[in-house]
Amino acid sequence: MAAAYRCGRDKNRDGEGVTSKMNRKRYETPMPGKSTGFDYEEWTGSLDKESLKRVMQTYYDERAEEYIDWFLRTGLYDRPETNEPFLRGLRELEEVVEAFGAGRVLDIACGIGWWTSLLARHATGVVALDYAPGMLRECRRRLALNGVTVDLVRGSAYQLPYADDTFDGAFIGLFVSHVPREDVAAFLTEVGRVVRPGGRVLIVDSTLPELDDVQEELQKRPLRSGATYPALKVYYGEAGLSRALAPFAQHLRVRTVESLFVMATYRVPGAS
Ligand X SMILES: C[S@@+](CC[C@H](N)C(=O)[O-])C[C@H]1O[C@@H](n2cnc3c(N)ncnc32)[C@H](O)[C@@H]1O
Residue 157 binds ligand X (CB under 6 A): yes
Q: How far is the CB of 230 from ligand X (least distance, A)?
A: 13
x-or-dash pattern for ligand X, window 82-121, by CB under 6 A? Answer: ---------------------------xxx--xx------
CB-nearer residue toward ligand X: 69 or 238: 69
Q: Which residue is closest to ligand X by CB?
A: 111
Distances (CA, A) of 85 to 125, 187, 195, 206: 32, 30, 33, 12
Question: Helical H runs in the chain?
Answer: 49-63, 68-72, 83-100, 114-120, 133-145, 184-194, 238-245
The residue among 118 and 244 lying less far from ligand X, judged by its C-beta, is 118
C-beta separation of 230 from 236 below 8 A: no
Main-chain dihedrals φ then ψ at residue 149, nearest 5 degrees: -110, 120
Q: Which residues contact 227 (CB under 8 A, 6 or more apart)?
A: 36, 37, 38, 62
**Strand, coil or helix: what is 174?**
coil
Where does this chain touch ligand X (CB under 6 A) — which range of 18-26, 174-182, 219-227, 258-266? 174-182
Site string for ligand X, 251-270 (x = CB under 6 A): --------------------
**Residue among 72, 74, 144, 158 that touches ligand X (CB under 6 A):** 158
CB of 158 to ligand X, least distance (A): 5
User: Residue 219: beta bridge partners?
Assistant: 231
Cβ atoms of 129 and 109 within 8 Å: the answer is: yes
> Among residues 89, 173, 199, 230, which is the contact residue for ligand X, using CB under 6 A?
173
For the chain, helix (H) and strand (E) counts, in that order, are 7, 9
Binding mask 57-86 for ligand X (x = CB under 6 A): ---x--------------------------
Cβ contacts of 144 within 8 Å, gap of 6 or more:
none
Binding of ligand X by 178 (CB under 6 A) = yes
Q: Which of 38, 131, 235, 248 binds ligand X (CB under 6 A)?
A: 131
Asked if residue 119 lies in contact with residue 105, where contact means CB atoms within 8 angstroms, the answer is yes
Q: Does 230 bind ligand X (CB under 6 A)?
A: no
Task: Pick between residue 101 and residue 111 the one whose CB is nearest to ligand X.
Answer: 111
For ligand X, the closer of residues 157 and 202 by Cβ is 157
**Residue 130 sits in the site that holds ligand X (CB under 6 A):** yes
CA angle 56, 159, 28 (to 5 degrees): 35
147 CB burial (10 A radius; 0-12, 13-18, 19+): exposed
Q: How far is the CB of 49 from ligand X (least distance, A)?
A: 11
Q: Does 138 bind ligand X (CB under 6 A)?
A: no
Q: Which residues bind ligand X (CB under 6 A)?
A: 53, 56, 60, 109-111, 114-115, 130-132, 135, 156-158, 173-175, 178
